[in-house]
Amino acid sequence: MGKPDKPVALSRASQPGGRSRGVSEVLEAPAHPSELWASAPATGSWPAARRATPMPIVLKKNQRWRVIAMHAVLLGFIAITLLPMLMILSISLRPGNFAGGSLIPSAISFEHWQLALGFPTQDADGNWTQPPFPVLRWIGNSIKVALISASAILLLSITSAYAFARLRFAGQRGLLTALLLLQMFPAVLALVAIYAIFDRIGELVPWLGLNSHWSLALAYTGGVAQYIWLIKGYYDSVPRELEEAAAVDGATRWQAFVYVLLPLAKPILAVVFVLSFLAGMIEYPVASVLLQAEDQLTLAIGSRLFLFDQRYLWGDFAATAILAGLPLTAMFMLTQRWLVSGLTAGGEGTRCVGRTTPAPRDLSRLRRARCWWWRTGCSRRQPRGLAASPAGRRA
């Protein structure tokens, strides 16, 4: 069909009275070649239509109020989330150690922050006040224990989950069920047993006994079962054809695991590491049993010392709480990209009825894998194990 001589523009001016029923707003849409003809002015030729304004988008009244209501709800949730943080910040900036008061302090003082950072402060009479507690040392102890436990949990969970997801052995289902049932009992129920075990171990290996960061990290590693289940679910969603293709080209099972499966599982590995790191930073019951010396305490245990029976150092406590949140915030910021994809999606493969088909994105990653059996000529040929796959031909 040929184009009409005078294209008609869908605009407010073309409506009777300049406004149609149920129309509340007209928004300009981005220019697109397919919309130029429809958005051309009522008068003009085809070349003029190419230079015409884009077709407007018409929104209904109920849609407009729905958007406004949604924004109001989101703003309310943001205010509720930020209010406790603003209150803690206000307490840390007030003179004295008072929990009550207005949200905006009348006077600002940094004495609590100086004490939290380990600097002495001078009062109005000229007396110097030394920091009551080694806050920075406590934060360092917490980061040390959390890093050790998170690394151990990640190492044990990725290998154990691979065995449950890819291997077949006697008692596999029973072991998975046992791991799941063990998570029903909190660590608080085993505090006496944990203390007795590490007290006895300390007689043989002192650095794994009581009042040791290594023993605390080892105790935290006992919660690896939930992370094994989490990573196993992710491994199950990754197509087996990727590892089979590596095996056809001469890779061993270990090489296929390290160079093919682990690069695809980066999002869930980041999730496990961050969750276990966060659990190690804020854990209280086990650390309160295994640690006694003040210089060996973690921040979760040392923070209780700010609240005496006769005196509550709320200002120092608030400054310490904000300072302790900085490592966690940095961790989340560094791993945000993998956390979002790991918590909201499964593997890169697509599940079909009766079989698993690798996605083209997986195949392109597989061809770029830095494995020794594909280092020569990987960009000039398709992996043999995936050459017959329609998705592989599209990739």
Terminal C-alpha separation, the chain: 38
Q: What is the pLDDT of residue 381?
A: 38
The answer to whether 158 touches 342, Cβ cutoff 8 Å, is no
Question: Model confidence at 309, in pLDDT bands (50, 70, 90)?
Answer: low
62: helix, strand or coil: helix
3-state helix, strand, coil in the chain (%, to 5): 60, 5, 35
Q: Which class for 105: exposed (0-12), middle (13-18), buried (19 or more C-beta within 10 A)?
A: middle
Taking Cα atoms as reference points, which of 337, 219, 325 lies closest to residue 278?
325
Per-residue pLDDT tens for 101-121?
Answer: 777 877 788 888 888 888 877
The CATH architecture annotation of domain 135-344 reads: Orthogonal Bundle (1.10)
Higher pLDDT, 162 or 364: 162
The answer to whether 60 touches 23, Cβ cutoff 8 Å, is yes
Element (H, E) at 57: strand 56-60
Q: Is the pLDDT confidence value at 380 over 90? A: no
Per-residue pLDDT tens for 46-84?
Answer: 455 455 566 666 666 678 888 888 999 999 999 998 888
Per-residue pLDDT tens for 166-225?
Answer: 888 888 888 888 888 888 888 888 889 999 999 999 888 888 888 899 999 999 998 888
Q: Where exactly are the structural domains of the chain? A: 12-64, 75-129, 135-344
Question: Model confidence at 368, in pLDDT bands (50, 70, 90)?
Answer: very low
